[in-house]
Structure 1
């Protein structure tokens, strides 16, 4: 009888440890898969580094190649950078110990999806230098 009670206690302790060790928060999963490269185009980068009077080559060195190149009514170049970012996080936890203790496997999960857009418009003068720029950012 004493040996059975000790075995049951060990199963309960192992089960509780499995439950506490198996759960990972969605924020931890997000941190593990998040893109942290420094080459991202952000509003801060545009505000900090794009200046009136810059050459097209300087703009490319900061922002990369534009998505769209067009001209205005005076045949001056207009560059458009249109960036869309989708972030999807899914977290799943399962209770392995519940299989041992109550004969079933419990699982739960959560997911979150968000999108961000950033549009940058760079207008050049007749000499090919930045005369104006604008940006718009949205999140949903």
Structure 2
């Protein structure tokens, strides 16, 4: 499953010329614009979601906003259904897939493996512009591609 997701991310990086890390938020937003999606930032919600062609986003600091955007891009590229009609098992599976997509999208594999040799988690979070918890999650995905 994760191998397919990592390959899909590589295709999207090529298609949209994503080669700078941290991935600029404007580049992620441009992908969504190119796909005819609108982004609404709503201060009263706590989770992002896609409804039709609109992505509803909570207000978040830059690292978390970058992660949330990439996560929603993952749903758009990986899933073709209305998540409100899914059972809890499928919803959980789709959320895990979208989070893995975001991790591969925002933190490129070969660069990350090199950076792991010399940078602490806090430095990795700063370099890739993501929350430190996301770095810890990204580390868990390394073995998934090797298997």
Q: TM-score range by the shorter chain?
A: under 0.3
TM-score, normalization by structure 2: 0.23
User: Which is helix-richer, 1 or 2?
Assistant: 2
Structure ID, larger Rg: 1
By percentage of residues, which structure has more strand?
A: 1
TM-score after normalising by structure 1: 0.24
